[in-house]
């Protein structure tokens, strides 16, 4: 269970769905950046996981990966400190997934609450694929291949990490009876953050069309804020408002901490109208995003930067994944009988 450094390992991943929004930042990315000094960080592009729901559009995966990794880098993930790599480029993910898939029952996977919710949302109750129900098994392979100690995730992912822990115990019980265990039992690392609402107060999500992207222009951000829902009872400027139900107020809390007290007071008293409040929220979001957007441009202007980061990350990740798989093969008794050069 030796690590390259003595720091505990973090394995985190996102499915590439394109450009990231403020919700991704406050929910995950901000935390990843903060953790990179104290942990050895592995950031995985879950580009096979995308196929569980979007298998008909594999051509979208690369452009979406590119935009997402660009946002990771712009937000401050340092590729010299943290490994960034695509799952699809390291075939060991598929091999370990297969082995783990034998160690969990179908019923156990069907009871996973995150899976049940997704299947219900997509209306797939009678029609989900073999690959889709195996989603958390592939995720377990992602984590175990790199012997991840912690997985920074939101609440919805906790059932998946619990399954990874069960798989570790079962694997060791069956294959490592009188040997040293191979894998640490990964722990979820929950972040105490208030979920950032979207422009319509629902959860911020690309599919709901209520996002502010990290890469949106000033014009786009101002326009989106103008259309944002506030407090429906505050009809005229001087009506008293209820900041606790207003998504724009959540943005003030997050991005305008110095002025938020006064904004809250003036909203409640009716001294501050939504038009001005939205303008200030826009100013705050823009000044928060502007260094990231500068960096994004800088990276975009360097040909092959993203590709090079991925290929370096993938080379290193592959070495680790191969080592882990040779331990797995060994304890399971898959010996090499014939050796030949390819
Ligand atoms: N399931 C995660 C999500 O939807 C993405 C993911 C894939 C992941 N593999 C992972 C997260 C490994 C953490 C660790 O957000």
- Residue 257 to residues 26, 72, 147, 233: CA-CA distances in angstroms? 15, 24, 38, 25
**What distance in Å separates the CA atoms of residue 193 and residue 122, rounded to the nearest whole number?**
27
User: Is it true that 9-196+304-332 and 216-297 share their CATH fold?
Assistant: no
CA of 168 to the centre of ligand 1 (A): 17
Q: Which residues contact 290 (CB under 8 A, 6 or more apart)?
A: none
Contact 100, 324 (CB under 8 A): no
Reduced to 3 states, what is the DSSP secondary structure of residue 98? helix
**What distance in Å separates the CA atoms of residue 341 and residue 307, rounded to the nearest whole number?**
29
CA of 296 to the centre of ligand 1 (A): 24
| Ligand 1 pocket mutation, candidates 82, 139, 148, 203, criterion most atoms within 8 A of CB | 139
CATH of domain 216-297: 1.10.240.10
Lowest mean pLDDT among 20-29, 185-194, 307-316: 185-194
Residue ranges per domain, the chain? 9-196+304-332, 216-297
Element (H, E) at 11: strand 9-14
Phi-psi region of 18 (alpha: psi -120 to 50; beta: other; left: phi over 0): left
Residues β-bridged to residue 43: 12, 84
pLDDT in tens, 47-59: 999 999 999 999 9
Contact 9, 150 (CB under 8 A): yes
Residues 9-196+304-332, CATH architecture = 3-Layer(aba) Sandwich (3.40)
Which tops the pLDDT comparison, 145 or 208? Answer: 145
| Ligand 1 and 14: CB distance under 6 A | yes
CA of 122 to the centre of ligand 1 (A): 19
pLDDT in tens, 146-174: 999 999 988 889 999 999 999 999 999 99
Contact 307, 299 (CB under 8 A): no
- Residue 46 to residues 50, 93, 162, 314: CA-CA distances in angstroms? 7, 11, 19, 13
pTM of this prediction exceeds 0.85: yes
């Amino acid at each position: 269970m030796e690590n390259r450094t003595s720091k505990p390992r973090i394995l985190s991943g996102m499915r590439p769905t394109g450009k990231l929004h403020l919700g991704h930042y406050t929910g995950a990315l901000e935390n990843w950046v903060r953790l990179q000094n104290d942990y050895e960080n592995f950031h995985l592009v879950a580009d096979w996981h995308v196929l569980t729901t979007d298998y008909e559009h594999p051509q979208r995966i690369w452009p979406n990966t590119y935009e997402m990794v660009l946002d990771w880098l712009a937000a401050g993930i340092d590729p010299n400190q943290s490994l960034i790599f695509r799952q699809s480029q390291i075939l060991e993910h598929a091999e370990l997934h297969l082995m783990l898939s034998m160690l969990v029952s179908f019923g156990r996977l069907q009871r996973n609450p995150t899976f049940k919710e997704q299947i219900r949302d997509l209306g797939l109750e009678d029609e989900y694929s073999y690959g889709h129900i195996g989603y958390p098994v592939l995720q377990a392979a992602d984590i175990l291949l790199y012997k991840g100690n912690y997985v920074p995730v939101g609440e919805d992912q906790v059932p998946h990490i619990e399954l990874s822990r069960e798989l570790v115990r079962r694997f060791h019980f069956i294959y490592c009876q009188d040997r040293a265990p191979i894998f640490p039992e990964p722990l979820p690392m929950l972040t105490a953050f208030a979920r950032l609402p979207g422009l319509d107060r629902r959860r911020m999500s690309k599919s709901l069309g209520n996002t502010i992207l990290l890469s949106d222009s000033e014009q786009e951000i101002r326009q989106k804020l103008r259309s944002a829902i506030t407090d429906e009872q505050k009809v005229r400027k001087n009506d008293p408002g209820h900041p606790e139900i207003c998504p724009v107020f959540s943005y003030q809390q997050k991005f305008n901490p110095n002025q938020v007290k006064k904004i809250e007071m003036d909203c409640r008293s009716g001294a501050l109208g939504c038009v001005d409040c939205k303008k200030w929220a826009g100013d705050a979001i823009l000044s928060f995003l502007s260094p990231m957007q500068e960096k994004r441009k800088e990276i975009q202007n360097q040909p092959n930067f993203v590709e090079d980061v991925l290929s370096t990350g993938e080379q290193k990740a592959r070495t680790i994944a191969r080592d882990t798989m040779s331990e797995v093969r060994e304890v399971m008794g898959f010996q090499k009988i014939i050796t030949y050069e390819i």
